[in-house]
Structure 1
Amino acid sequence: MNNLHSGLLYSLTGVTALASMSSCASQKKTEEQKPFNIVYIMTDDHTAQMMSCYDKRYMETPNLDRIANDGVRFTNSFVANSLSGPSRACMITGKHSCANKFYDNTTCVFDSSQQTFPKLLQKAGYQTALVGKWHLESLPTGFNYWEIVPGQGDYYNPRFITMQNDTIEKQGYLTNLITDMSIDWMENQRDKDKPFCILIHHKAIHRNWLPELKYLNEYEDKTFTMPDNFYDDYEGRPAAAAQEMSIFKDMDIMYDTKMLDMNKDSRLKSAYLNFIGRLTPEERKQYDDFYAPIIKEFYQKNPQGKELADWKFQRYMRDYAKVVKTLDDNVGRVLDYLKEKNLLDNTLVVYTSDQGFYMGEHGWFDKRFMYEESMRTPLIMRLPKGFDRKGDITEMVQNIDYAPTFLELAGVPVPEDIHGVSLLPLLKGEHPQNWRNALYYHFYEYPAEHMVKRHYGVRTDRYKLIHFYNDIDMWELYDLQSDPMEMHNLYGQAEYEPVVKELKEELLKLQEQYNDPVRFSPDRDKE
């Protein structure tokens, strides 16, 4: 072989080798840059007190704990408006209610033409899906597939609205059905050559806490510990005193605690009959057989006063826990599916609720107030491969942050008009020096169910300042370090005037930043 031919052969061999190496590197790079999937599981009114990865007093949630144990748990996660529809609008747009314009559940219809993170993901090539609760009055947009429950939905043999705008009925328990449909979409309906984002949105754990029939007997032998402030007298807090969400006074004896007596009446009796009227005759017999002896004993004893309040609390806690138990089962089913299909390494799994809930704190059920149990929401994530952060994340985050997080994870530019900030730096183990030090909150729905006054406020790591307005003009200040149960309103005390001044400045700054037209006037308040 002559030198020219030998050199040419060597060169060609080198080029081939280099090309092969380049091809492998390119393939490896492509594999490394494959977009992450997003499985976003959200429940309704599930509070951190009823998740054992946050609070072990009441019940065990082993499958939810799997997410926290394998990933991260946010210990300071909050919402911007503690009400189902508005909270969902904040989440899907990444904006406060003043910008997405869905203020409350009673007067608003979500403008489906506005920018949402599913639409932006869809434009970037993602397959997007929504199954379960939507609760924004208009039909969903920005999804390749959706099937939603009308309004709040039904626990038993529920109805669904399809993409063809047909309403159909399915047999079964709603939480199980939503999971069935979600797994079916991931397995059989999506384009598997594309990354996906699915929103699995449950009705659970919403009032009136109707359990899956197989769990009717669960927790019946358990006595739940009553919160220390169950018998709150609301001293110095007239807005708290004016609410209608008391377990003792406002929890309906038939609708909420299931003590049905056809010879008696209650405000929500007809609604309750409609709910359980969805059961088949065989299911209804099983349901009635369980409740019959409890109903008989209740009306025989006819508890009053504190005895009735205690009894209602126990029934509420048991029913709530039963609904959580089925939810936890179904979170496990989703995790098992992702593991079986080798999707966990490339998927961000998020579990949260649309807000927190009162489990007897201040004597209440429901949410709405800016107080901790309502504003605070659970948030746990199982991270895809490449994100090594595990354990607790203590920075203050809010549900307006989910949209920019999902977009940045997908490599999609985050629009400048989004109010939230991406959580990706925190998921990477970073602790940004410029992370927010205050959160803004605004609740608008009054007068309405539960009669919680309109209010807005600011929360820092230590203090919370709330202004109740509209038909009332009252301020409340809490030192969360010395008074975590928010029982002592410090507003007006001379020694806290510097704190109030600083918090009002921060509050006004946030109202201006988010362009909330409902602002307080420093001049009027004589700072």
Structure 2
Amino acid sequence: MKDFANQWRTIWIAVYYVGSTFGLMLLGSVANAEQRPNVILLYTDDQSFASTGVTGNAQVHTPHMDRLANEGVLFTRHYNSTSICMASRASVMTGMYEYKTGCNFGHGPMHPETFEQSYPVLLRDAGYRTGFGGKFGFPVSAGSSDSVGSYEFLPVDQFDAWAGGTGQTSYQTSKNQYLASYADRYPHSSRAYGAFAQDFVAECKTDQRPFCLTLFFKAPHRPFTPDPFFDDVYRDVQFERPSNYGRTAGKHLSLQARLGRQSLTFFRDMGFDSDHYQETMRKYHQLIHGVDYAIGMLRDALREHGVANNTVIILTSDNGFFCGSHGMGGKVLPYEEGSKVPLIIVDPREPGKGQQCDELTMTADIAPTILDLAGLQSPKQTDGISLVDFVRSPERTSDRQSIPLFQMWGAPTTYAMSVVTKTHKYIYWCCGRSMPPAEELFDLTSDPTEMINVVGEANQKAELEAMRSRYADQLSHLKQTAVPYNHYQPFGQLFDANITWEAKRDLVTEKMWKQYTSLPKQLGLREEDYFDFETVLKAAERSIDGRRK
């Protein structure tokens, strides 16, 4: 009996010490959690680099965005790895290039095992409370459909709080079932997302976990239907046109680039022609102002609940917007206006305020930055790098020499891969149907609006060879790591300039060509003229003249 009692005493002591150790570990874990910052990613849709006051546009009113830059770091050379909604969102969530996420319009969904490596899932697993609001933009499914029209393919249950919508979402708050409760007070979605963010922050006050909130605003994406609450902001503003505005400013570009919808139809249909330019730009910037107002709502909540000093805010966009530059609307193409966007990071714990970082950064850098802020390692397949060190020391230099840009969607004429350095941009347009494939090289130092293709100039020969070499390195990475599904591996051959078009043309299917043939059809051309490209371009010019009359 005595031995039995001693055994129990020994067991009790052991349990006590194990429990105490576990308790200390748990307390330490909680303490570490309290030290980890909260993180907020604000992601706009189609916001050009030149759409804020802090990026040099004196005609716009973006006080909260400008204030973020004055309190943090403005990155002046930030590019979208792929300049289109679905692929860009997949990349920002995972830190991977499009051909590794396997996700874009016309390709297919992100597989669930890939989304498991996204920053919201990894942070939630590590003890963060996570929330999402806005246009999620890509399906998560083991199937093949790229539809985002149903909540069935959206990861609603992977977040602690959800206010996301299906498809392109709507500016009408009442049409999003998870946001509809805000409709009476905020009928336009931008301010409704601001209210959702306020409530999310308030709810986090009673939760010991740090939080991560992701807001994917719809604004300023088409249709350009801004919140009437801000109708007075730009009522009398006459916007200056960019120096490379208009269709004549695009005639030096490759034939391939001018055969996309950005040039053939969107310049006219989006209202960037000269007769509608002012009205369109007022609505576009009014939508951005609505987002700016929502940012102010969010920051008020951070201060009210005492978490502003431990909350990192990241503001950027999924792609740029041409706004009439080079005679184009939309985005997608790798020129500056379509691919370059604002990036602002505010870490209130860091001493630097109102500084700029001129290093090359890209979409795929956002996820590793967020994970690094939370003290987590990025998955090994990540293509981006953490920008935390540049937030701490914006003047530091990077080992990165170039970044790639990809266009693998839509009209096959516009399929392209590019590399960008601090001084130059090289673009290879692979399509050779009724035309030769094309190269473009722009000296961004002397020609930031890309008005002179210097690919044939003798004094640029060494630079051209260096850019071709960087391009070859990126192509090798694509060939080695592209997912074996959703039609990504063929791009390893399509983007290979050493393979003739005749040897690879069958990789472009009739289904893919329909993305192009719908464009000359809209211009009223006969089917037999669809691939007479000069005829197509002339028809596009006539459509502009006809609208003007």
TM-score, normalised relative to structure 2: 0.75
From 203, 226, 242, the counterpart of 1:188: 203
Residues 346 and 247 of structure 1: CA distance in aligned 2, closer, same or farther (over 3 Å): farther
- Consecutive unaligned residues in structure 2, runs of 5 or more: 1-23, 139-147, 483-488, 501-549
Matched, 1:66 2:30: no
What residue is the counterpart of 2:255 in the other structure? 238
Q: Distance in 1 between matches of 2:57 and 2:496?
A: 44
Instruction: Please identify which structure carries the higher helix content.
Output: 2
Residues 50 and 437 of structure 1: CA distance in aligned 2, closer, same or farther (over 3 Å): same
Matched, 1:39 2:56: no
Q: Distance in 2 between matches of 1:193 and 1:397?
A: 33
What residue is the counterpart of 1:212 in the other structure? 227
After TM superposition, give the deviation of residue 384 of structure 1 in Å. 2.9
What residue identity is the alignment partner of 2:403? Answer: L
- Consecutive unaligned residues in structure 1, runs of 5 or more: 1-22, 258-307
Q: Distance in 1 between matches of 2:377 and 2:32?
A: 21
Matched, 1:134 2:136: yes
Q: Distance in 2 between matches of 1:336 and 1:189?
A: 15
Q: Distance in 1 between matches of 2:438 and 2:112?
A: 36
What residue is the counterpart of 2:77 in the other structure? 76
User: SS state of the match for residue 245, structure 1?
Assistant: helix
Residues 101 and 160 of structure 1: CA distance in aligned 2, closer, same or farther (over 3 Å): same
Q: Aligned pairs, how many?
A: 441
After TM superposition, give the deviation of residue 190 of structure 1 in Å. 7.3
From 218, 228, 231, the counterpart of 2:243: 228
Q: Distance in 1 between matches of 2:419 and 2:304?
A: 44
User: Following TM superposition, where does structure 1 have runs of at least 4 consecutive aligned residues deviating by more than 6 angstroms?
Assistant: none
What residue is the counterpart of 2:159 in the other structure? 143
Q: Distance in 2 between matches of 1:229 and 1:433?
A: 31
After TM superposition, give the deviation of residue 233 of structure 1 in Å. 4.3
Assess if the C-alpha contact under 8 Å between 1:247 and 1:360 holds in 2: no
What residue identity is the alignment partner of 2:231? Answer: L
What residue is the counterpart of 1:119 in the other structure? 121
- 5 Å-filtered alignment, 1:26-425, equals 30=31, 34-102=35-103, 104-114=104-114, 115-136=117-138, 137=148, 138-140=153-155, 142-162=158-178, 170-171=183-184, 172-188=187-203, 192-231=207-246, 232-246=249-263, 250-252=267-269, 256=270, 309-386=273-350, 388=352, 390-425=354-389
What residue is the counterpart of 1:438 in the other structure? 402
Assess if the C-alpha contact under 8 Å between 2:78 and 2:343 holds in 1: yes
User: SS state of the match for residue 394, structure 1?
Assistant: strand
Q: Distance in 1 between matches of 2:422 and 2:293?
A: 34
After TM superposition, give the deviation of residue 511 of structure 1 in Å. 2.8
Assess if the C-alpha contact under 8 Å between 2:37 and 2:374 holds in 1: yes
From 434, 454, 465, the counterpart of 2:426: 465
Residues 233 and 330 of structure 1: CA distance in aligned 2, closer, same or farther (over 3 Å): closer
Residues 507 and 424 of structure 1: CA distance in aligned 2, closer, same or farther (over 3 Å): same
Which stretch of the first structure deviates more once superposed, 481-490 or 122-131?
481-490
After TM superposition, give the deviation of residue 498 of structure 1 in Å. 2.0
Which stretch of the first structure deviates more once superposed, 506-515 or 347-356?
506-515
User: SS state of the match for residue 182, structure 1?
Assistant: helix
User: SS state of the match for residue 359, structure 2?
Assistant: coil
Q: Distance in 2 between matches of 1:324 and 1:233?
A: 26
Residues 430 and 320 of structure 1: CA distance in aligned 2, closer, same or farther (over 3 Å): closer
After TM superposition, give the deviation of residue 31 of structure 1 in Å. 7.3
What residue identity is the alignment partner of 1:117? Answer: Y
What residue is the counterpart of 1:426 in the other structure? 390
Residues 444 and 161 of structure 1: CA distance in aligned 2, closer, same or farther (over 3 Å): farther
What residue is the counterpart of 1:269 in the other structure? none
After TM superposition, give the deviation of residue 425 of structure 1 in Å. 1.1
Assess if the C-alpha contact under 8 Å between 1:351 and 1:381 holds in 2: yes
After TM superposition, give the deviation of residue 454 of structure 1 in Å. 0.9
Matched, 1:489 2:453: yes
After TM superposition, give the deviation of residue 387 of structure 1 in Å. 5.2
TM-score, normalised relative to structure 1: 0.78
- 5 Å-filtered alignment, 1:480-519, equals 480-513=444-477, 515-516=481-482, 517=489, 518-519=491-492
Which stretch of the first structure deviates more once superposed, 346-355 or 149-158?
149-158
Q: Distance in 2 between matches of 1:389 and 1:169?
A: 35
RMSD of the TM alignment (CA)? 2.8
Q: Distance in 2 between matches of 1:74 and 1:374?
A: 17
Residues 430 and 478 of structure 1: CA distance in aligned 2, closer, same or farther (over 3 Å): closer
What residue identity is the alignment partner of 2:76? Answer: T
- 1:340-359 CA distance string (max 9 Å, x none): 22211111011111111112
After TM superposition, give the deviation of residue 162 of structure 1 in Å. 4.5
Residues 169 and 51 of structure 1: CA distance in aligned 2, closer, same or farther (over 3 Å): closer
Which stretch of the first structure deviates more once superposed, 176-185 or 134-143?
134-143
Assess if the C-alpha contact under 8 Å between 1:44 and 1:355 holds in 2: yes
After TM superposition, give the deviation of residue 242 of structure 1 in Å. 1.7
After TM superposition, give the deviation of residue 376 of structure 1 in Å. 0.7
Residues 122 and 490 of structure 1: CA distance in aligned 2, closer, same or farther (over 3 Å): same
Which stretch of the first structure deviates more once superposed, 116-125 or 433-442?
433-442
What residue is the counterpart of 2:536 in the other structure? none
Which stretch of the first structure deviates more once superposed, 126-135 or 176-185?
176-185
Which stretch of the first structure deviates more once superposed, 80-89 or 209-218?
209-218
User: SS state of the match for residue 350, structure 1?
Assistant: strand
Assess if the C-alpha contact under 8 Å between 1:248 and 1:312 holds in 2: no
After TM superposition, give the deviation of residue 393 of structure 1 in Å. 1.1
Q: Distance in 1 between matches of 2:274 and 2:207?
A: 53
What residue is the counterpart of 1:5 in the other structure? none
Matched, 1:475 2:443: no
Q: Distance in 1 between matches of 2:266 and 2:343?
A: 32
After TM superposition, give the deviation of residue 417 of structure 1 in Å. 1.2
Residue identity over aligned pairs, in percent, reads 25
Q: Distance in 2 between matches of 1:424 and 1:418?
A: 16
What residue identity is the alignment partner of 1:41? Answer: L
Assess if the C-alpha contact under 8 Å between 1:74 and 1:392 holds in 2: yes
Assess if the C-alpha contact under 8 Å between 2:201 and 2:302 holds in 1: no
Residues 393 and 339 of structure 1: CA distance in aligned 2, closer, same or farther (over 3 Å): same
What residue identity is the alignment partner of 1:242? Answer: L
